[in-house]
Structure 1
């Protein structure tokens, strides 16, 4: 893709008010929901598209899950850390990039931005639930006895928020049950 093809594709995807040429070979797309950067290398052979996801400090507990997502889920885009921010990044050689792949990469980056920490948090939670199931099964516990232990932990205040309402506690325990039932037979 040439710089004019990149600019044309950006104009098709976003309103002309949202697309700003910030320097030769560099564009910034500003919307109420996100800021997207499109940058060409100095020799215009490589394209990089970036979108900020979350401050790195906020993402610190989930770095392993971000790397796992890079391996399993992110397709043509990747998570990266730069200047204290987790970014969604797409890099491609301009000579082999086609407009359809460029559009798909931008859509995928916007999707990563919209999801934020949700996917990596859910991945972390699932890994912890799997560990609980493994430990319970090693101790010979059934699904029901594991669920009873969790209910006891909540009742005794070992788990959950001490100011949690009874309704919120029941909703939390129902979520535990759904996840345990979903994963129990897999482990």
Structure 2
């Protein structure tokens, strides 16, 4: 893929006003939501597309989930940590890169950006629920008994916000119940 083809793909995706050359072989795409960087290696053989996702401090509790996502979910793009940020990164040899693959990778990066911490947070919560299910099953508890324990924890203030309204507490317990029922037979 040539520099001209890269610019053509970027322009097709974002429009001419959003794409700016910042140096030979380097472009920046500015939208109202994000700034995407596109960099060629000095010899033009490798392309790297970068999109900052979240500050590293915000992502720190979820580093294991980011790495798991790299293995299972992110397809041709990856999460990376650099200069205090969690980035979405796509790297590819320009000799075999085609327009469709670049477009797909950029769309995937934008999807990671839009998800922010949501996907990794949900993965963390699901793994914690699975741990609760495993512990309950080791203690020979039923789904109903496990749910009653969680309800008691909320009632006693061991879980949840101490100033939580009854409606908010019921909403959270309904979400717990749904997740426990969904994951119970998997655990």
Q: TM-score, normalised by structure 1?
A: 0.99
Cα deviation for residue 12 of structure 1 reads: 1.0
1: CA distance, partners of 2:36 / 2:86: 13
Give the match for residue 49 of structure 2.
49
Aligned residue-pair number: 187
Confirm whether residue 164 of structure 1 aligns to residue 151 of structure 2: no
What's the secondary structure of 1:91's corresponding residue? strand
Cα RMSD (Å): 0.5
Confirm whether residue 180 of structure 1 aligns to residue 173 of structure 2: no
2: CA distance, partners of 1:136 / 1:12: 53
Structure 1 runs (4+) deviating above 2 angstroms are: none
Cα deviation for residue 79 of structure 1 reads: 0.2
2: CA distance, partners of 1:74 / 1:11: 24
Give the match for residue 84 of structure 2.
84
Residue by residue over 1:135-171, the C-alpha shift from the partner in whole angstroms, topping out at 9 and shown as x without a partner, is 0000010000000000000000000001111000000
2: CA distance, partners of 1:70 / 1:47: 19
What's the secondary structure of 2:44's corresponding residue? coil
1: CA distance, partners of 2:128 / 2:92: 36
What's the secondary structure of 1:57's corresponding residue? helix
2: CA distance, partners of 1:153 / 1:127: 19
Question: Where do 5+ consecutive residues of structure 1 fail to align?
Answer: none
Residue by residue over 1:105-162, the C-alpha shift from the partner in whole angstroms, topping out at 9 and shown as x without a partner, is 0000000000000000000000000000000000010000000000000000000001
2: CA distance, partners of 1:156 / 1:13: 53
Q: TM-score, normalised by structure 2?
A: 0.99
What's the secondary structure of 2:47's corresponding residue? strand
1: CA distance, partners of 2:105 / 2:151: 44
Cα deviation for residue 38 of structure 1 reads: 0.3
Cα deviation for residue 11 of structure 1 reads: 1.0
Confirm whether residue 108 of structure 1 aligns to residue 104 of structure 2: no
Confirm whether residue 98 of structure 1 aligns to residue 95 of structure 2: no
2: CA distance, partners of 1:100 / 1:185: 40
Residue by residue over 1:63-95, the C-alpha shift from the partner in whole angstroms, topping out at 9 and shown as x without a partner, is 000000000000000000000000000000000
What's the secondary structure of 1:96's corresponding residue? coil
